């Protein structure tokens, strides 16, 4: 299982982002971050292209994203970046958080075929018959509690490369938490996706 992306969303009353506040954040983040056009309307994007990290800010949200080929669940760099962002904006250390991890898993064959053959108790021919032979693959979603977070784990073929499975993990908590607590749980969830979610997928694929 290879971790490909982590996204941490922090909701808080940030307020308007004038040029002075934008400049304070940029100075706090330091090189190699630069301000770039944001992919989401209404956000300001600070991008580190060398390490494929970004921080996006809006009036009510901070979004941290790190992408890579096999990133670590260790979030010490994320902590440093988010603490600097929090302090530059003079925010209280209380955030409503959303956490997302994305991973890929090498399929033993085509993920699309394996999902049809193994994910349901119906035979592959019965499943395909339900969709008049147009079925490409099957995805699964598991929802569960990991207090104080509500989580869901999604497993499906990666249609950009059908030799892979696409794994997405989301966790959310409706009450404010400290940044330290959020990042600690985010790192634990990253380890879960890298290690235990692979066991979930292996169990599903057993013949």
Q: What angle do CA 14, 17, 18 make, to 5 degrees?
A: 145
CA dist., res. 39 & res. 130, Å (int) = 38
Q: Please give the model's pTM, rounded to 2 decimal places.
A: 0.91
Query: Can you tell me whether residue 117 is helix, strand or coil?
Result: helix
Q: Which residues contact 5 (CB under 8 A, 6 or more apart)?
A: 65, 66, 67, 68, 71, 100, 101, 102
Query: Can you tell me whether residue 32 is helix, strand or coil?
Result: coil
Cβ atoms of residues 102 and 23 within 8 Å: no
pLDDT for the residue 180: 96
Backbone angles phi, psi at 167, to 5 degrees: -120, 125
Instruction: Give 121-127 contacts, CB < 8 A, sequence gap 24+.
Output: none
Strand 2-11 relative to strand 96-106, pairing: antiparallel
Tens of each residue's pLDDT in the chain, 207 residues: 999 999 999 999 999 999 999 999 999 999 999 999 999 999 999 999 999 999 999 999 999 999 999 999 999 999 999 999 999 999 999 999 999 999 999 987 789 888 888 888 778 888 888 887 788 888 999 999 998 899 999 999 998 998 999 999 999 998 999 999 999 999 999 999 999 888 888 888 885
Query: Can you tell me whether residue 91 is helix, strand or coil?
Result: coil
């Amino acid at each position: 299982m290879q971790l490909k992306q982590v996204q941490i969303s922090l909701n808080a009353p940030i307020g308007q982002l004038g040029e002075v506040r934008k400049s304070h954040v940029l100075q706090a983040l330091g090189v190699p971050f630069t301000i770039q056009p944001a992919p989401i309307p209404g956000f300001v994007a600070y991008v580190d292209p060398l390490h494929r990290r970004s921080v996006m800010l809006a009036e009510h949200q901070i979004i941290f994203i790190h992408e890579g080929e096999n990133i670590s669940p260790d979030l010490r760099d994320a902590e440093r970046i988010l603490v600097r962002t929090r302090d530059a904006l003079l925010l209280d250390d209380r955030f409503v958080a959303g956490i997302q991890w994305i991973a890929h898993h090498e399929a033993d064959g085509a993920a699309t075929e394996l999902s049809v053959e193994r994910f349901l108790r119906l035979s592959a021919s019965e499943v395909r018959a339900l969709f008049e032979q147009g079925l490409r693959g099957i995805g699964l979603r598991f929802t569960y509690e990991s207090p104080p977070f509500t989580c869901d784990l999604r497993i499906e073929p990666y249609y950009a490369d059908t030799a892979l499975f696409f794994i997405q993990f989301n966790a959310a908590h409706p009450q404010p938490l400290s940044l330290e607590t959020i990042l600690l749980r985010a790192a634990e969830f990253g380890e879960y996706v890298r290690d235990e979610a692979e066991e979930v997928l292996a169990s599903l694929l057993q013949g």
